Structure 1
Amino acid sequence: MATAEPDDIEIVEHTRDPFAATAPAAVPDKQTLVAAGELLRALAAPVRIAIVLQLRESGRCVHELVGALGVTQPLISQHLRVLKAAGVVRGERNGREVLYELVDDHLAHIVVDAVAHAQEG
């Protein structure tokens, strides 16, 4: 309902029935949902979240991740295998070392947003 104000500003009141049915959101196909679930499971471990946060800055070797995160080399390697299998990271051999980097910037955004959300609560 609109009413005229002294300055000819029109105020419009919108009423919406909170119990009215709304159209359901589009749901991706089952294969896409399964793939998204697997990706989120791969990102679910705190060490893997920390690895993704490290890799968003630049590629890193295992020993750099060990130093930055303060966990053992075997544990970092295990988590990198999970992330690699899920398509989150890729490794490029350079001599005796493998440089790991994120496959996609979207993955860093997912982790950064999750961390920011956790810090708000």
Structure 2
Amino acid sequence: MTTSPPPTPPADEPIRDLQAASDLLRALASPVRIGIVRELSQGGKYVHELVAALGVSQPLVSQHLRVLRTSRLVTARRQAREIQYVLTDDHVAHIVLDAIRHAQE
């Protein structure tokens, strides 16, 4: 099986764009945050749903949601007394889902 080399960014790629990409990958650099994005790729979720799906504590989920919100990858919507979290951009879900698939190969 032959694979083609990955596309090479143009040499004149602005460093700020490369920094933004680096910041995005850093924000995703946690198994819990990757799990949160994977779960949110299916639609908005409440914290208790993320806790159940990921099998980690509520404070840990909240801590990682804070990182994702600070990075503007996730937004929060108040629904009565609960807050529903959603991805701000479906592109992030594609990055995470592709990375998971790649790791499984």
* Common fold: TM-score over 0.5: yes
Query: Which runs of 5 or more residues in structure 1 are unaligned?
Result: 1-23
Q: How many residues align?
A: 97
**Residue number in structure 2 paired with 1:14:** none
Amino acid at match of 1:26: P
Partner of 2:82: 97
Q: Distance in 2 between matches of 1:98 and 1:76?
A: 13
Cα deviation, 1:32-81, whole Å, max 9, x if unaligned, reads: 11111011011010000000000000100101101111100000000000
**Aligned residues: percent identity?**
57
Equivalences for residues 53-64 of structure 1 within 5 A: 53-64=38-49
For 2:40 and 2:21, locate their aligned partners in 1 and report how far apart those are by CA, in whole Å: 20
What amino acid maps onto 1:119 in structure 2? Answer: Q
Alignment match, 1:73: 58
Where 1:87 maps in the other structure, the secondary structure is coil
RMSD: 1.2
Larger Rg: 1
Q: Compare relative contact order (CA 8 Å, sep 6+) and give the higher one, 1 or 2.
A: 2
**Structure 1 segments (4+ residues) deviating >3 Å:** none
Q: Secondary structure at the match of 1:92?
A: strand
Structure 2 distance, partners of 1:93, 1:33, is: 34
Which stretches in structure 2 are left out of the alignment for 5+ residues? 1-7
TM-score for the superposition, normalised by structure 2: 0.88
1:84 corresponds in structure 2 to 69
TM-score scaled by structure 1?
A: 0.77
Match of 2:5 in 1: none
Flag the structure with higher helix content. Answer: 2
The 1:92/1:25 distance shift into structure 2, 3 A limit, reads: closer
